[in-house]
Amino acid sequence: MSHDGHLEIYLTHRSRFVDYAAAIVGNRALGEEIVQEAYLRFKDAKTIPHRNLSQGYLQRIVRNLAIDLLRKGNTEKEYTAYDENIGAIADDKPSPEEIISQRHDLKTLSAALDELPPRMRAALEMHRFEGFKLKEIAERMNISITLAHSLVSEGLLHCRNRLSEHNK
């Protein structure tokens, strides 16, 4: 396949890939970066899959890069959290500023949940607050597991976006 074919696939599906990556990493800007990196790897690949398989191949690159970024971020967070926890051992009560910040976050999250369509909110609450698995949500709501996943993912993304807007 020519590099023009790669570019065509990238441009045609770019926004869907960004949405996909952003849902994995929880950040649209990182999703954009991941998709750009994925395209660079895709166009430079020595073994080019058949045109009909190229879209899936690019999506796999996006997925792998997003998961790698999450793994790297989780490792860094663990070390940072460990360092912060050592300092907090002496005083494990939240500061007044932390309490106020957490209250604002809770209000923002509550408002974000209120903005969701009823079915999306129900699926998200079942998953996050009641501990239901996607299969259980799908059975209770009489929908496919794929739709249950989509509802939960989109709901989470909406809430994350609202919290990040609030915390800017």
Distance CA 137, CA 152 (A): 10
Q: Which one-letter DSSP state was computed for residue 142?
A: T
Of 62-66, 80-84, 150-154, least confident by mean pLDDT is 80-84
pLDDT (mean) for 125-136: 89
Residue 56's pLDDT is 81
- What CATH class is the domain 99-166? mainly alpha
Which residue reads 């663990």 in tokens?
78
Distance CA 67, CA 121 (A): 26
Residue 62's pLDDT is 87
Of 71-75, 81-85, 164-168, least confident by mean pLDDT is 81-85
* Residue 34 scores a pLDDT above 80: yes
Q: Read off the pLDDT of residues 95-122 as tens digits, 9 standing for 90 and up.
A: 788 888 788 888 888 888 899 999 999 9
Residue 120's pLDDT is 93
* Residue 149 scores a pLDDT above 90: yes
Q: If DSSP codes are grouped into helix, strand and coil, which group holds residue 153?
A: helix
- Domain locations in the chain as residue ranges: 3-79, 99-166
> Is residue 14 within 8 Å of residue 23, measured between CB atoms?
no
Mean pLDDT of the chain: 81
Q: If DSSP codes are grouped into helix, strand and coil, which group holds residue 93?
A: coil
Instruction: Assign 50 a pLDDT band (cuts: 50, 70, 90).
Output: low
Q: Which of 44, 53, 59 is nearest to 10 (CA)?
A: 59
